[in-house]
Copies of this chain bind each other. A is one copy, B any other.
């Protein structure tokens, strides 16, 4: 009974047209140009490397895409158990008609050729979006992105602010900001002006969110204008050699100022909490970051209290932080659990984290999932992975344990999968936080 129920729920969830609220898609090249863009996703390169494949074989300069794929396919057998390998299989099956259980020496080349041909089609990105039932995807744009040359209703801009907060000591970052804002930076006032210009630009280009990823030891706090001035001057003068306390004061000043602009421009501020960068320094590209799970949302107490008008869609890197996220969202109106991030984006962690959220956070203020993808082909398998888990939790926890009707369980699923994306980011035909679903 329960297996059939899960399957029915999954199929209905899978029919919903979605908006993906967080990706790393390049709007000017959204889909894969060759299969090497699929296999080059860091999940495959880092897992193959972890299983023994030398980095040099993967990242050889000038490597031909087909040769790169041949090398990687020859090293994927140790990964066949991983959920990431299942994404690859689902892409091969759904987009390219593959029908095996494993991609091997015998079949990789025909798969490669079929995929390469499909990818060469003019409207390949459009085909992928349609097959994936994706109406739109959020981007992750550099602060100086001109945001031109694409349809911002389909590729929705999002202002990524990591560099502004954590890298402003680097002269090239400041130079880029000065160029993009058309102003010079020397103190807190001029820095604020420059940041405001970028909000104006992004807002004019249909941006629907501001976003940042944060290390586990970050604890945002308000900096006095005087301290900010001193610190900005020091950082402008000394660059990365500036004192740690000076760089931290600048980071806090910029972060706080971004939150102020989110209030003014009515933008949600996506927080992605917990990543340590470059922990494994000899790792492959994008396969070097890890984390320290000893982080607490208590570090964000002042922020959440101060910016009551800003919605914070919040992701946590370690599953252990999910209970705090659930509890903070349970009482703070402006804290919204947001998807399942990176190392917590595998079924075992999704299931337990989702189950906890669905039974304790108001249904109107939790966003089920985003793909975090770099290429459009991954939207389909990643969302399906989530929808399978969602169907399982709805079946077991609501239909079986709490005697809900299937229809009602499905409505809850639709709410977290789609409606809340519209509601939280202010999309579509005007959901508001006050709307009641089933009143």
Q: Which residues of A contact B (CB under 8 A)?
A: 3, 46-47, 49-52, 74-75, 77-84, 86, 101-102, 104-105, 276, 279-283, 287-288, 290-294, 296-298, 301, 304-305, 308, 318-321, 323-324, 326-333, 343-344, 346-349, 352, 355-356, 358-365, 388, 392, 397-398, 400-402, 405, 408, 412, 433-434, 436-439
In the complex, the chain B residue whose C-beta lies closest to that of A403 is: B101
Q: Are A77 and B359 in contact (CB under 8 A)?
A: no
The chain B residue sitting closest to A405, CB to CB, is B101
Residues of B within 8 A of A363 (CB): 78-82
Task: Give complex CA distance A50, B356 in Å.
Answer: 17
Which residues on the B side are within 8 Å of A434 (C-beta)? 52
How many Å lie between the Cα of A14 and that of B295 in the bound state? Answer: 40
Complex contact B364–A397 (CB within 8 A): no
- A-B pairs with lowest CB-CB distance, top 7: A77-B436, A51-B362, A78-B362, A78-B364, A81-B363, A348-B355, A77-B439
Q: Which of B280, B304, B397, B437 contacts A280 (CB 8 A)?
A: B304
Q: What 19 additional pairs, Cβ within 8 angstroms, besides A50-B330, A104-B438?
A: A3-B400, A46-B330, A47-B331, A50-B329, A50-B362, A51-B333, A78-B364, A80-B437, A81-B359, A81-B398, A276-B298, A280-B332, A281-B305, A283-B331, A283-B332, A293-B296, A323-B343, A323-B344, A348-B397
What's the minimum C-beta distance from A326 to chain B, rounded to whole angstroms?
8
Per the bound structure, the CA–CA distance linking A417 and B356 in Å amounts to 24
Q: How far is the CA of A75 from the CA of B326 in the complex (A)?
A: 20
Residue of B nearest to A355 (CB): B348
CB distance from A354 to the nearest CB of B (A): 9
Q: Is the CB of B298 within 8 A of A292?
A: yes
Which B residue's beta carbon lies closest to that of A298? B292
Q: Which residues of B contact A405 (CB under 8 A)?
A: 101
CA distance A361 to B400 in the complex (A): 29
Given contacts A294-B296, A305-B281, A327-B291, contact A346 B359 (CB under 8 A): yes
Chain B residues, Cβ within 8 Å of A293: 296, 320-321, 323-324
In the assembled complex, 17 residue pairs joining A and B whose CB atoms fall closer than 8 Å, in A order, are A49-B331, A50-B361, A52-B333, A75-B436, A77-B436, A80-B438, A81-B362, A81-B398, A104-B439, A280-B305, A291-B324, A291-B327, A293-B323, A293-B324, A294-B294, A346-B356, A347-B397
Q: This chain: how many copies in the complex?
A: 3
Q: How far is the CA of A283 from the CA of B82 in the complex (A)?
A: 43
Contact B50 A358 (CB under 8 A): no
Q: Which of A47, A102, A105, A330 has the most CB of B within 10 A?
A: A330
In the assembled complex, the Cα of A84 lies from the Cα of B358 at a distance in Å of 12
A280 surroundings in chain B (CB, below 8 A) = 304-305, 331-332
Check B282 against A290 for contact (C-beta < 8 Å).
no
Return A422 CB to nearest CB of chain B, in Å: 15
B residues within 8 A CB of A82?
359-363
Known A77-B436, A327-B291, A331-B290: A83·B359 in contact at CB below 8 Å: yes
**Complex Cα spacing A47 to B332, Å:** 9
Q: How far is the CB of A11 from chain B (nearest CB, A)?
A: 15
Of the candidates B3, B297, B298, B356, which one forms a contact with A348 in the assembled complex, judged by CB atoms under 8 Å apart? B356
In the complex formed, the residue of B with least CB distance to A393 is B348
User: Of all chain B residues, which has the CB nearest A345?
Assistant: B360
A279→B328 CA distance, assembly (Å): 10
A279 contacts across to B, CB distance below 8 A: 298, 301
Of B51, B297, B360, the contact of A365 (CB 8 Å cutoff): B51
Complex Cα–Cα for A439 and B356 (A): 39
**A318/B328 in contact, CB under 8 A:** no
Taken together as a complex, chains A and B put the C-alpha atoms of A276 and B300 apart, in Å, by: 13
